[in-house]
Amino acid sequence: MARKVTFSETDARRIAAATRAYERGNRNQPPIKFRQVSDEGGDPVRIGKVAAAWDRGTCATVTIWEGGSSCEPTETSPSETIEDVANLSYNVPAESWVVIGRGVTGRWYLLDAGIGGECRTTIGGEDITRWPGWNGEAEQILGHDAGGCLKWFDVFECGGGS
């Protein structure tokens, strides 16, 4: 069923002006063409896993998983992989779930990644181990000092910790 489309008076005037300008234009110019996006070749978005850590600016092979009869994903059978998936976003730890998407050129890209692996050391693609005060051998929390600057706090100094 077609949806009703409405325009404001400002939009209607703008559309009318563009139409009049086009109608006055050079009739010898080629028509405007819109490229049709093909949906051949399967799903444009897939769910998978990466075995190794995947750095931003590199490509990786993603093992595809699919939903079964429940919400638990299962590896495709036979095993399916997509190679040379581009990561333009952020560092992804090994054994992470990923969502990949195919662009109009057919190239696959990382869209999102879930927390995976045993140890995550990135926030939004930033390697927090490089931030001043990081101590990989202590239990720390990230907060800010009285001046509003980021600071690592040792949980034992805060009265907590395991």
Helix, strand and coil in the chain, % to nearest 5: 10, 35, 55
- CATH class of the structural domain 45-113: mainly beta
**Looking at residue 129, what is its pLDDT?**
85
The answer, yes or no, to whether residue 161 has pLDDT greater than 50, is: no
Helices (H), 6-157: 9-24
Sign, CA torsion 64/68/70/72? negative
* pTM of this structure: 0.49
32-86 tens-digit pLDDT: 776 665 555 556 888 889 999 899 899 999 998 876 666 667 777 778 899 999 9
- Is 54 in contact with 85 (CB distance < 8 Å)? no
Q: What pLDDT was estimated at residue 70? A: 62
What does the domain layout of the chain look like in residue ranges? 45-113
- 12-26, 81-95, 115-129: least confident range: 115-129
